[in-house]
Amino acid sequence: MRSTAVSGAILAWAMGRAVDAAFGVTTKSNSFSIDTNGGLAFDVSKSNGDITNLSYKGVQYQGTSKMTQINSGLGTSKVTADTVNGIVRITVTGGSQPLTHYYVVKPDDPTIYMATYITGEINPGELRFLARLKRSAVPNGWHGDAANLDGCTAFEGKDTFKCPNGQTRCKMYTADRFIDDQVHGVTGNNVGIWLIMPGTAYETSSGGPFMRDINTQSGDDQELYWYMNSGHVRTEPWRYGLMGPYAMRFTTGPKPSANLDTSFFETLSIQGYVPASKRGSVSGTATGVADGFQAVLHWYNNASQYWAIADTNGSYTSPLMKPGTYTTKLYRGEFPIAQDSVTITAGAKTTKNMASTEANPPVVWRIGNFDGQPFELKNGDKIERMHPEDVRMGSWGGSYTVGKSSPKEFPMALFSKKGGDATVTFNVAANQAKAETTLRVGTTLSFKGGRPSVKIGTWTGKDPGAPKLIDSRGVTRGAYRGYGEVYTWKVPAGTLREGSNTLTLGVSGSGDANFLSANYIIDAVELQGPAGADSPRA
């Protein structure tokens, strides 16, 4: 095959025109060289499995200082190359890591298909594929300038930067929810380099449908990531097995479809690959989710995770799942409202209807929506893409008047040493003042043990105690979702006064200074009791 390619190149040169090299893999002294015959050619190091060359349509895209690799490189590894059923397969067995990584190439397809198989946790506590690309060739990162570090200086850790204009940058600000993130990439002049996570690519990752992680960073290199597992706001243990299949595709610019066929992996003896014929599914209806909110179904156990969004009629069908018994959750947006279980059998289609089991007591007033997201509150529309200190942010803390203020005036987060408390002024009628009421505060994420402190008049609610610790910066790196604690306090009858009352909502906990002090993100706040003039309407 190599001599044929060389002869073809010589003939083309002699005829005064260029042609693509023939599809296949060539063994060099230090690498395996693969040509897709689709415009993409790349080299894989024989010593460690790094990609050391990425050439598309004659342009070099591989960065120069660091290579494209798993994590920051696997070190000395066993690397082999073969051709199976006309498909090139490169197998990288990590020498010191419980990991096998695959590069797979089909003829005439400018795509590197991949899968990563693990049998244990990978040092240093994360698992990612990272393409380090030539910045001048692909200058445009994901989500615009969210992680463009040009001229900016690190001010929090080594990953969060402030620019001369007061704006902030962080690679975490390029993150999207797993349920939404099937294709992301970087672009340049007549080129797009895209990571595609099709179908059930996330099934062995951890974190669930609303987990978010780094997608790109624009520094000396243009960095393109897929995080399979990490410690960034980690809420559950790692899963082991096959991550993927996933792919890196080169285009002339347009974003490719997420509908990427990887069924041919069944013929390649890839460890951990489970074909469609050995999977099952579940379908049904989801009810009790109010109009205007996504109805999200989530299936998970210690080995696998899956998700689906019900249509406007509540109908859903799961992806093809590995056999097993799964916890099933139904969410209104990202707020859990029902839980059950289902058993999946290979080759079978199971039916399972889900209905909300959420209580629906009368409410005096409510701020925001119990949907597991802070986006409708003040600064909530910005928090995914910038630091709380960013000049584009509004003030923190503040006052809210029920019946007059809008949710955009109520802070989406409170900090024990920055921004001050939030106050809620509200009126109650005589019958409401005489009743016992319940104050309910929904949160989505806590840092340094931050939890609500509450006071109405002379009444102070009991400290609920520190929530389960997530040992990771959250709100300052654009994260908003953790365990989602919901706190309730019984407010004794007679506490409220007929007419005007004020709730003071603060933070228990200390932590460090400023925005790294103890904090929590707010989902919604409500006072449950007899309905009145300011009660939310169904």
Question: Edge to edge, what strands does the sheet with 324-332 contain?
Answer: 305-309, 295-300, 324-332, 335-344
pLDDT at 538: 65
Q: What is the mean pLDDT of residues 111-125?
A: 94
What does the pLDDT average to over 469-490?
Answer: 97
Can you list the positions of beta strands (E) in 475-518? 486-491, 499-508
Task: Give the integer Cα–Cα distance in Å for 5 and 104.
Answer: 20
Instruction: Provide the pLDDT for residue 9.
Output: 34
Q: How far, in Å, CA of 145 to CA of 149, rounded? A: 8
**Per the structure block, which two tokens stand in for 343?**
């058993």
Q: What is the pLDDT of residue 7?
A: 34
442, 356, 366, 459: CA torsion to nearest 10: -60
Letter for the amino acid at 419?
G
Mean residue pLDDT of the chain comes to: 95
Would you state the pLDDT for residue 17? 28
Q: Tell me the residue ranges of DSSP E strands in 119-151.
A: 127-134
Whole-number pLDDT of residue 521: 98
Give the model's pLDDT for residue 511.
84
374-387 tens-digit pLDDT: 999 999 999 999 99
Question: What's the mean pLDDT in 82-97?
Answer: 95
Categorize the per-residue pLDDT at 68 as very low, low, confident or very high, splitting at 50, 70 and 90: very high
- Those residues whose C-beta lies under 8 Å from the C-beta of residue 182, and which sit 6 or more positions away, are 196, 197, 198, 201, 258
What mean pLDDT do residues 248-273 have?
Answer: 97
The pLDDT score that the predictor gives to residue 13 is 31
149-176 pLDDT per residue, tens: 999 999 999 999 999 999 999 999 999 9
Res 537: pLDDT? 83
Question: What are the tens digits of pLDDT across the range 19-32?
Answer: 446 999 999 999 99
Confidence label for 18 from pLDDT (cuts 50, 70 and 90):
very low
pLDDT more than 70, % of the chain: 96
| pLDDT for res 65 | 87
* Entry field: residues in the chain: 538
**pTM recorded for the entire structure:** 0.93
Q: Is the peptide bond before 254 cis (omega within 30 degrees of 0)?
A: no
Q: Is the pLDDT reported for residue 15 higher than 50? A: no
Burial class (CB in 10 A: 0-12, 13-18, 19+), 375: middle
In tens, the pLDDT along 331-359 reads 999 999 999 999 999 999 999 999 999 99
Residue 11 has pLDDT above 80, yes or no: no
Q: What are phi and psi of 148, to 5 degrees?
A: -85, 110
Kindly state the average pLDDT of the residues 129-145: 98
